[in-house]
Amino acid sequence: METTQNPSGEDSLIARYFKPLATDPGAFGLVDDAAVLSSSGEDIVVTTDAVVEGVHYLAGDPPDNIARKALRVNLSDLAAKGATPAGFVLTLALRSKEDAWLRPFADALCEDAKTFACPLLGGDTVSTPGPQMISITAFGRVPQGRMIGRTGARPGDRVLVTGTIGDAALGLDVLKGGAAASALTSDPAARDFLVSRYRVPQPRNVLAPALRDHATAAMDVSDGLAGDLTKLCAASGVAASVDVTSLPLSAAAAGLRARNVASVETLLAGGDDYEVLCTVPPAQCETLIAAGQSLGVAVTAIGTITEGQKPLRFLDGQGQDLLLTRLSYSHF
Annotated binding residue at 220? yes
41 lies in the site for its own copies, by CB under 8 A: yes
Using the contact rule CB under 8 A, the part of the chain among 15-23, 142-150, 252-260, 285-293 near its own copies is: 142-150
Closest residue by Cα to residue 66 from 58, 76, 75: 58
Q: Specify the pairing of strand 84-94 against strand 43-52.
A: unpaired
Using the contact rule CB under 8 A, the part of the chain among 119-127, 167-175, 253-261, 293-301 near its own copies is: 119-127
Nearest to its own copies of 159, 289 (CB atom): 159
Using the contact rule CB under 8 A, the part of the chain among 48-56, 104-112, 189-197, 297-305 near its own copies is: 48-56
Quick check: 55 and 97 in contact, CB under 8 A? no
25 lies in the site for its own copies, by CB under 8 A: no
Distance set, CA 135 to CA 170, 231, 282 (Å): 25, 23, 38
Residue environment code for 113-128, b if the CB has 16+ CB neighbours within 10 A, otherwise e: beebebbbbbbebeee
192 lies in the site for its own copies, by CB under 8 A: no
Quick check: 45 and 140 in contact, CB under 8 A? yes
- The residue within the footprint of its own copies, chosen from 54, 143, 156, 237 (CB under 8 A), is 54
Nearest to its own copies of 134, 190 (CB atom): 134
Residues in contact with 160: Cβ distance below 8 Å, sequence separation at least 6, in sequence order = 277, 278, 279, 280, 285, 288, 289, 299, 300, 301, 302
Q: How far is the CB of 91 from its own copies (least distance, A)?
A: 5
- The residue within the footprint of its own copies, chosen from 17, 18, 22, 45 (CB under 8 A), is 45
Rounded Cα distance between 167 and 120, Å, is: 29
User: What does the per-residue mask of binding to its own copies show for 63-102, with x meaning CB under 8 A?
Assistant: --------------xx-xx-x-----xxx-x--xx-----
149 lies in the site for its own copies, by CB under 8 A: yes
Q: How far is the CB of 119 from its own copies (least distance, A)?
A: 12
10 lies in the site for its own copies, by CB under 8 A: yes
Using the contact rule CB under 8 A, the part of the chain among 121-129, 157-165, 246-254, 300-308 near its own copies is: 121-129
Annotated binding residue at 192? no
Q: Specify the pairing of strand 120-127 against strand 84-94.
A: parallel
Distance set, CA 20 to CA 64, 102, 210 (Å): 16, 14, 32
43 lies in the site for its own copies, by CB under 8 A: yes
Distance set, CA 159 to CA 156, 218, 276 (Å): 9, 10, 11
Torsion angle (degrees, nearest 10) of CA 246, 250, 251, 255: -70
- The residue within the footprint of its own copies, chosen from 114, 115, 117, 131 (CB under 8 A), is 131
205 lies in the site for its own copies, by CB under 8 A: no
Using the contact rule CB under 8 A, the part of the chain among 108-116, 203-211, 229-237, 250-258 near its own copies is: 229-237
User: What does the per-residue mask of binding to its own copies show for 150-179, with x meaning CB under 8 A?
Assistant: xx----------------------------
Binding-site residue set for substrate: 56, 272, 329
